[in-house]
Structure 1
Amino acid sequence: MPRTADYTIQGFLYQFNKTALEILGAQDNDKITVEGIIEDIEVATPTTLTAIQCKYHEASTSFTASAVYKPLLQMLKHFSENQPTSIRYILFVHFSVVVTPAPIIDKAVLKAALTSKDKSIEKHVKAVPPGVDLDSFLDQFTMEFGPCYDEIVKHVGRELEACGMPSGEIEILAYPNAIHKIATLSVKHNAVERQITKKEFLSELIAIRKTAISRWTLALKTREKLLEARRKQLKIHLDKNSRLRYFVIDPSSIEDYDSEIVLFISDYLDKYHFKPAHISTPILCLHANRSEVQKIQHRLYLKGIVANDGYMGAQFEESFFFREPLASKSVGGKVKREFNVRILSCDDHGIVLNDQKCDDLFIIGDPDCDALDTVDVNIEHLAGATMKEVKYVMGVSNVYE
């Protein structure tokens, strides 16, 4: 991955870590808004509102005022529109090198931002009305310099422990789930849905006993440990013979889907659906059109795997799809079945999964599963992982690279 991409992802993770610190440092019922209306993080107490914008400049070798012109202009615009409301504005920034004493933002810097000819911030300059009271803004403004990425991660870990999280569970359970929770909140459309209190946050973290696997947790430096932890957690149910399992997969969000999907199904069947005791035929539900599903169906056939798609001629028949395969025992104790797996397009017939509930629902990638009835179903969400990593955490492979 290019270093610029690394810095972009770390920038988001840095903000999520700062958000975690604000939540953990708040009073139990203070409302923290992730990606607030004003800034990246908003902390509302009964008497004050603090708006925090977080900027990560690891690639910058030193601080330059022009690097923070845009957030300053955005804050000035909001300040000008919300007088005489007293809002505390904080610009939380990280540069790889900052001289001592730390630079400050004064009227000269604000005036330079307001008169900047930089085309990239032209619209932000124009958005600030003339005559804005710079002195009053500075009375409500603070710039803070944050630690390096590794240090802020350690700080969050210490705060989680101080809030009662078992120290042995922080690295592979509490911390990644905290980052995952904040990332999940950040993408919700309604600002109210992006709000959380410290009490709610800690309560959810304590209740979660699965390590979140997502694009954000897998971007953490503990990726290998997280995959190993998830593998151990999944083993509990995967070792049970008679579980009915559905796999809902979004090909567009998995980088090695095309090269690995058939191998994944083949390896899964070889490990978890070959004995007489394996009585529940798994279902593969792909977020793809019928033509794409049929291509996978044919590739499976070439490997000796028959997939029932429920079609009789040109019509999909639900009863034909859910029928039990004829089976007979073959040499070596393996069972020879009429078909080995059921396959269908989520877009065309995914709703039929609600008519026969599974025991385990594996959501792989980022498919839309809102239409599925998941009450009383064990859900295992593996997002951000490659198919090789999915094979590893599900125990069908001992390597993930």
Structure 2
Amino acid sequence: MTKSRQAIDTIRGYYYQFDLTISQILEQKNEQNIITIEGIEDIDIASIDGNTTIQCKYYQGTTYNHSEIKDAIIFFAEHYASVKNSPDKKISYKLYGHYKSGHEKLDVNLNIDFFKKHFFKKTSYKEVKDVDGKKTKEIDKITYKDQELGFTNEDILDFISLVNINIRGKSFEELEKHVIDQLIENLDCSEIEAEYYYNNSLAVIRELAKSKEIVSRKISKEDFKKKISKSNKRIFNIWYSKIRGKSHYNKYVRKSIFDDRSSNQLRIFLIDCHGFKKSELLKTLMDISEKWSNMNTSKSIELFCPYIYIHNYCENELAQIKNELIDNNYLIEDGYYYLNSSFNSKLFIREPTKNTCKYRTNLKILNNLKDLNSVLQESETKYKIIFQFYRSSPFFSSEIVLNHEIYFQDLECIKEMILW
């Protein structure tokens, strides 16, 4: 398996656990039940009916063997041993996994003998030499975890009654589809809206999982729904791109935020252009101007054109691009009246010109983030939206305007997202 394939499988494993966490949250009947991320296990659920701890295993290309889940069962047993004599010992243990094959190996009676043989038994080996001096291994000793933990047969039976093992879990795609369906049902929304909430859900779970304190990794279904519904920005990151695939991801971004071309919005495009060829960037800017302005019509009462900030780009080359835009009859505005003048935000945000004027501004180019902040403060336009295209990490944040942070790989991605 290639390193890139291994990396994708690792990412899918993480997201499979995130999806299962989201699914467990959404299926709670009582919205006050508390779900802990990375508590005793991957997912802990506290309800008035008792507590449940869940471990998730995703092995799409692996054949199931009992050794695959042995460590998880041992961990469950150790926890059971620590609480079995306490009054609040009642806790259920769930192991949820997806394997390529081998499921029939667990289609047996999960009794004391089975647990002892396949989960509790530990065989240690030692290295010996035969008469010819050849090294071999032979059994050194056999121990049983249940004996180490002081379990009686009654304890083992009680423990088994609390353990639920499901190795026929949904595939990655099936679980994701199930989560989307749950979001549609819980939030009474369309499928495309559910995709948006799904992305927000992943962001919420990631943030919870990163918290060091366990109290900060707890959330109820009620609070979870509030968090994913009130987010003031949509997150389209590299992980989501890798999971979805480039084409699907680009299409999803387009449908999510670029279907609306109404004129009462001030659209600001921030694009990380480091390393892009000048000719490619020039063509992209022209296309954005054509697509996201109405400067070529005389019928519209309200004229508008896009604002663009080009990040990580040489000043000299940016000046050349401005010249070439003008040479190609794309009149631009950058907020500077004359050579060596200061940036004038009023000049920059003024109306693109009247219908009767021959010279109409096709594109407004911001030279730096300081100028962008000035424009955001000065503009009285009610609806302002930032579309921030980044390749490593977002480079701009604002508390006063909707800011979509969008991961992209190359200019072709931008074309597929916004120039349909």
Indicate the TM-score class for this superposition, using the shorter chain for normalisation.
0.5 to 0.7
Instruction: Provide the residue aligned with 1:294 in structure 2.
Output: 315
Which of 264, 268, 277 aligns to 2:284? It is 264
Alignment CA distance shift 1:35-1:304 (3 Å):
same
Aligned residues: 363
Q: Does 1:148 align with 2:171?
A: yes
Matched position secondary structure for 1:231: helix
Which of 144, 159, 181 aligns to 2:201? It is 181
Instruction: Provide the residue aligned with 1:367 in structure 2.
Output: 394
Q: Is the 8 A contact 1:180 1:217 kept in 2?
A: no
Q: Is the 8 A contact 2:36 2:217 kept in 1?
A: yes
Q: Does 1:197 align with 2:220?
A: yes
Residues of 1 paired with 2:316 and 2:122: CA distance? Answer: 57
Q: Is the 8 A contact 1:301 1:307 kept in 2?
A: no
Alignment CA distance shift 1:185-1:17 (3 Å):
closer
Alignment CA distance shift 1:382-1:28 (3 Å):
farther
When the two chains are superposed, the root-mean-square deviation of aligned CA atoms in Å is 4.8
Residues of 2 paired with 1:76 and 1:294: CA distance? Answer: 64
Question: After alignment, is 72-81 or 188-197 more displaced?
Answer: 72-81
1:284 Cα shift?
Answer: 1.3
Instruction: Report Cα offsets for 1:323-342 as digits up to 9, x if no partner.
Output: 33998899x966368x8411
Instruction: Report Cα offsets for 1:219-252 as digits up to 9, x if no partner.
Output: 5669756754653554565341x64333345679
Q: Is the 8 A contact 2:236 2:405 kept in 1?
A: yes
1:186 Cα shift?
Answer: 1.9
Instruction: Provide the residue aligned with 1:68 in structure 2.
Output: 69
Residues of 1 paired with 2:266 and 2:321: CA distance? Answer: 20
Instruction: Provide the residue aligned with 2:367 in structure 1.
Output: 343
Instruction: Provide the residue aligned with 2:92 in structure 1.
Output: 88
The higher radius of gyration belongs to 2
Equivalent residues in 2 for 1:374-393, closer than 5 Å? 374=400, 377-383=401-407, 386-393=410-417
% same residue: 18
Equivalent residues in 2 for 1:278-289, closer than 5 Å? 278=303, 282-284=307-309, 286=311, 288=312
Instruction: Report Cα offsets for 1:160-183 as digits up to 9, x if no partner.
Output: 5654746xx23x331552254134
Which of 246, 256, 266 aligns to 2:268? It is 246
1:266 Cα shift?
Answer: 3.5
Alignment CA distance shift 1:304-1:3 (3 Å):
same
Alignment CA distance shift 1:154-1:144 (3 Å):
same
Equivalent residues in 2 for 1:62-141, closer than 5 Å? 62-72=63-73, 75=76, 84=86, 86=89, 87-102=91-106, 106-111=115-120, 131-132=148-149, 135=156, 140-141=162-163
Q: Is the 8 A contact 1:244 1:281 kept in 2?
A: yes
Alignment CA distance shift 1:72-1:246 (3 Å):
farther
